[in-house]
Amino acid sequence: PPALPPEREHASALALLAMLQREGRLVDFLQENVAAFSDAEVGAACRTVHEGCRKVMGQYFTLQAVLPQSEGDQVTVPVSFDAQRIRLIGNVTGQPPHTGTLRHHGWVTSEVKFPVVSPAMDPRVLAPAEVELA
Protein backbone atom coordinates (compact mmCIF):
# COMPACT_ATOMS: atom_id res chain seq x y z
CA PRO A 1 0.00 0.00 0.00
CA PRO A 2 1.20 3.57 -0.62
CA ALA A 3 2.70 5.40 2.33
CA LEU A 4 0.34 7.76 4.13
CA PRO A 5 1.30 11.43 4.32
CA PRO A 6 2.66 12.32 7.79
CA GLU A 7 -0.51 14.15 8.84
CA ARG A 8 -2.60 11.02 8.12
CA GLU A 9 -0.08 8.60 9.61
CA HIS A 10 -0.09 10.61 12.85
CA ALA A 11 -3.77 11.62 12.77
CA SER A 12 -4.52 10.02 16.17
CA ALA A 13 -1.70 11.92 17.86
CA LEU A 14 -2.79 15.16 16.21
CA ALA A 15 -6.39 14.49 17.26
CA LEU A 16 -5.23 14.04 20.87
CA LEU A 17 -3.30 17.30 20.71
CA ALA A 18 -6.38 19.02 19.28
CA MET A 19 -8.53 17.62 22.13
CA LEU A 20 -6.00 18.84 24.71
CA GLN A 21 -6.11 22.27 23.06
CA ARG A 22 -9.90 22.35 22.85
CA GLU A 23 -10.51 21.34 26.46
CA GLY A 24 -7.41 22.67 28.23
CA ARG A 25 -5.85 25.23 25.87
CA LEU A 26 -2.62 23.22 26.20
CA VAL A 27 -1.07 24.39 22.93
CA ASP A 28 -1.82 28.03 23.77
CA PHE A 29 -0.24 27.59 27.20
CA LEU A 30 2.89 25.87 25.88
CA GLN A 31 3.34 28.38 23.06
CA GLU A 32 3.16 31.31 25.50
CA ASN A 33 6.39 32.64 26.99
CA VAL A 34 5.42 32.68 30.66
CA ALA A 35 8.69 34.24 31.89
CA ALA A 36 7.11 37.70 32.10
CA PHE A 37 4.10 36.52 34.12
CA SER A 38 3.95 36.29 37.91
CA ASP A 39 3.82 32.92 39.62
CA ALA A 40 0.20 33.67 40.58
CA GLU A 41 -0.76 34.34 36.94
CA VAL A 42 0.97 31.16 35.76
CA GLY A 43 -0.66 29.20 38.59
CA ALA A 44 -4.12 30.49 37.66
CA ALA A 45 -3.56 29.52 34.02
CA CYS A 46 -2.31 26.09 35.09
CA ARG A 47 -5.58 25.36 36.86
CA THR A 48 -7.53 25.81 33.63
CA VAL A 49 -5.03 23.80 31.59
CA HIS A 50 -4.91 21.05 34.22
CA GLU A 51 -8.68 20.74 34.51
CA GLY A 52 -9.26 20.51 30.75
CA CYS A 53 -6.35 18.17 30.03
CA ARG A 54 -7.28 15.93 32.96
CA LYS A 55 -10.80 15.68 31.49
CA VAL A 56 -9.40 14.55 28.13
CA MET A 57 -7.06 12.01 29.76
CA GLY A 58 -9.93 10.53 31.76
CA GLN A 59 -12.22 10.40 28.75
CA TYR A 60 -9.82 8.63 26.39
CA PHE A 61 -7.35 6.69 28.55
CA THR A 62 -7.50 4.26 31.44
CA LEU A 63 -4.25 4.57 33.39
CA GLN A 64 -2.74 2.40 36.09
CA ALA A 65 0.41 2.69 38.15
CA VAL A 66 3.25 0.42 36.98
CA LEU A 67 4.01 -0.40 40.62
CA PRO A 68 1.15 -0.37 43.13
CA GLN A 69 3.23 0.78 46.10
CA SER A 70 3.29 4.39 47.27
CA GLU A 71 6.09 6.73 46.33
CA GLY A 72 8.67 6.65 49.13
CA ASP A 73 8.06 2.95 49.91
CA GLN A 74 10.85 0.38 49.74
CA VAL A 75 10.43 -1.97 46.78
CA THR A 76 12.33 -4.97 45.47
CA VAL A 77 13.05 -5.07 41.74
CA PRO A 78 13.15 -8.75 40.70
CA VAL A 79 15.74 -10.43 38.51
CA SER A 80 13.30 -10.64 35.60
CA PHE A 81 12.14 -6.99 35.72
CA ASP A 82 10.98 -5.24 32.54
CA ALA A 83 13.32 -2.30 31.82
CA GLN A 84 10.52 -0.58 29.87
CA ARG A 85 8.37 -0.55 32.99
CA ILE A 86 10.99 0.01 35.69
CA ARG A 87 13.96 2.37 35.35
CA LEU A 88 16.71 2.05 37.90
CA ILE A 89 18.20 5.39 39.01
CA GLY A 90 20.84 6.39 41.50
CA ASN A 91 23.75 4.10 42.40
CA VAL A 92 23.01 1.18 40.09
CA THR A 93 25.57 -1.59 40.58
CA GLY A 94 25.49 -5.36 40.52
CA GLN A 95 22.76 -7.64 39.32
CA PRO A 96 19.11 -7.75 40.40
CA PRO A 97 17.26 -8.28 42.58
CA HIS A 98 17.66 -4.70 43.79
CA THR A 99 15.98 -3.02 46.75
CA GLY A 100 15.40 0.72 46.64
CA THR A 101 13.01 3.60 47.26
CA LEU A 102 10.14 4.08 44.83
CA ARG A 103 10.49 7.65 43.52
CA HIS A 104 7.72 7.49 40.90
CA HIS A 105 5.22 4.66 40.49
CA GLY A 106 5.13 5.05 36.67
CA TRP A 107 2.12 4.90 34.42
CA VAL A 108 0.82 2.29 32.00
CA THR A 109 -2.22 2.62 29.77
CA SER A 110 -4.64 -0.26 30.10
CA GLU A 111 -7.25 1.09 27.67
CA VAL A 112 -7.38 3.69 24.89
CA LYS A 113 -10.72 4.92 23.52
CA PHE A 114 -9.81 7.29 20.67
CA PRO A 115 -12.52 8.45 18.33
CA VAL A 116 -12.11 7.65 14.64
CA VAL A 117 -10.53 10.56 12.75
CA SER A 118 -12.64 11.47 9.74
CA PRO A 119 -10.71 11.50 6.46
CA ALA A 120 -12.63 14.68 5.58
CA MET A 121 -10.91 16.56 8.42
CA ASP A 122 -7.42 18.03 8.13
CA PRO A 123 -5.69 16.53 11.19
CA ARG A 124 -3.03 19.26 11.10
CA VAL A 125 -5.58 21.85 12.28
CA LEU A 126 -5.28 21.68 16.07
CA ALA A 127 -7.51 24.70 16.65
CA PRO A 128 -9.21 26.88 14.06
CA ALA A 129 -8.63 30.61 14.09
CA GLU A 130 -11.53 32.42 15.74
CA VAL A 131 -12.82 35.65 14.24
CA GLU A 132 -15.48 37.56 16.15
CA LEU A 133 -17.83 39.54 13.99
CA ALA A 134 -19.35 42.75 15.30
- Is the pLDDT at 1 greater than 90? The verdict is no
Closest C-alpha to 119, from 16, 21, 22, 11: 11
pTM above 0.75? yes
At residue 10, the pLDDT reads 82
The answer to whether the CB of 53 falls within 8 A of the CB of 71 is no
Confidence of residue 9 (pLDDT cuts 50, 70, 90): confident
